[in-house]
Structures are given as C-alpha cells and as structure tokens.
Amino acid sequence: MATWVKSCGVLIYRDRPQREFLLMRHPDRWDLPKGHIDAGETELECALRELQEETRISHSDVQIDGSFRFAYDYTFRGRKTGKPHQKTLVVFLGLLLQDIEIVPTEHPSFAWQTWSPPHQIQAQTIDPLLAAVAEHWQSG
C-alpha cells in the first residue's frame, strides 16, 4: 500500500517590471519553494515556512491571495525504495510586496519566469498550477 504525503508551497509572483513568477532550480527540473507539512501545522503555515526556509522570503514580504488554493493529487516513486507514494500538493498564490534578495538554501539557483501562458515548464504539477492561476486571474 502506498504512503500518503502532503506538500505545501507558494507560487510567488511580482508585477514589476512585468508579471513574473519565481521558480527554483533542481539539478534536473524546475520546482516551487515547497515542502512537507509538519504535525499541527496548517497548509498555509507550512507553505510560508517552506518559502522562508528555501528563499529567505518572509511572510511579511508576501500578500497571499485568499481566494486561490490549488490542490493536486499524484503518485510518484520514492528515490531510495522505488515504492509508490501518493502525494497531495497544495499551492497558494502570493504577491511579492517589495524587491528582496532571494537566497536559495535547498536549490542550486532560481529564476524569475515571465508570465506568458500557456506555459510548458513541467507537465505533472507546474503547468496545471499555472493554468489554474491564469484562469483565476481571468475570472477575477
């Protein structure tokens, strides 16, 4: 039987000089600042903690869009055991309120990606997230 894990993060964007969003670089893919939820932690608390741990962006540097919450369930294979795991990814949307220095602590680098949907960055999770954000902004 597969184990179930939950991971939470924030898609950070800025509107100056143009609309861009933050991606973190793994050795083989792009990702978001996110991580596993701790016992007793809310999804948003986890997302903001992981954001600060992985980028040094503080919760006071971000305005969370309270009307957006993206959730996605998928299966992945553990790197060490190869066993299947079920994962729920929850992502919030946050506007960076001021220019600050991004300090990646768990990734080799980061990049600001220009907002120009449809995006083709990572088919399993990031592309569906960005499509949901585009729909959210169009309907709002």
Distance CA 33, CA 55 (A): 7
> Residues 52-68: pLDDT tens digits?
999 999 999 999 999 99
What is the mean pLDDT, run by run of 10 residues, along the chain of 140 residues? Answer: 83 94 93 95 98 97 98 84 88 96 94 94 93 93
Amino acid 2: pLDDT: 56
Single pTM value for the model: 0.91
State the total domains in the chain.
Answer: 1
pLDDT of residue 89: 95
Phi, psi of 60 (to 5 degrees): -75, -10
pLDDT at 76: 78
Beta bridge partners of 74: 87
Q: Which domain holds residue 93?
A: 3-139
Q: Look up the CATH number of the domain holding residue 19.
A: 3.90.79.10
